[in-house]
Structure 1
Amino acid sequence: MAPHLVKVAGPLFCRPLHRLQGAAARPASQTQEGWSIMRYLGGISGSGVLKYDGKAHARASYDFDGFFKEPLGVTGSGEIQLAPSALKSVFGRNDVQLLTDDGRLLDLKFSEKELRTASDVAHVDVTGELPTAGGAWSH
């Protein structure tokens, strides 16, 4: 299967090619000034423990898409889901991590400015111990 290329304006603000429609689905050109090429790796999902200040906070589930881009390497973005009260208490913090049930420690950065009232889901950008470009990403 050929890698999917997507047109992006920044390192994490994109979706896999098969999830895009219309003009947004056109592959980026390496020669287009101001655009970069990012390869979609697949998705990972599961559960784990949300941590901040190095302490366990709450159980959470996650669904992330992975991307590879030079020189950043592997990055991800997607959603975490946990109890609304737990999410509200960590939303916007800079020191949030997810220890997945399979042992990966992922650093999370909230990509939204505000949390919707009583929401149990938030969008995050992900770095840390993600699978490698040839690793456990599902397509």
Structure 2
Amino acid sequence: MVNYTLKATANTTHVGGFSPELEPALVIASGDRIQVETYTGYYLYNQAPEGFLTPEFIELCRRLSPERIVGPGPHLLTGPIYIENAQPGDILEIQLESIYPRLNVGFNAIRTGWGALPQRFSQPKLRFINSILPET
């Protein structure tokens, strides 16, 4: 078993969904462990308060190439991760051992025509939320 860290950079992230066209950001063997870094707010970073931004996140947002926007979704994804010897049709078991926020700021966005209740929330709204997190 090998332990890896996969940092979120302009070369290891993409926006919009999953794509088989992307080269793996990391290749692992079955049983390996990975600490994966990710960010949120790619499309909102230029509106974010200072606490939302790290130098690494700003660089990622500014350097992400258009080829890494692979679908209509808004989410910034780290990966893909290739598992050696995995074949189409295999069942993969992934164990999430812990999840913690990278930043102490989050956001809530209402976008016109999106979400579970688009007819109830027709006006766009963006709110950044600051939280104090315990040290990890």
TM-score, normalised on structure 1?
0.24
> Could you say which structure has the greater relative contact order, defined with CA pairs below 8 angstroms and 6 or more residues apart?
2
The structure with the largest helix share of the pair is: 2
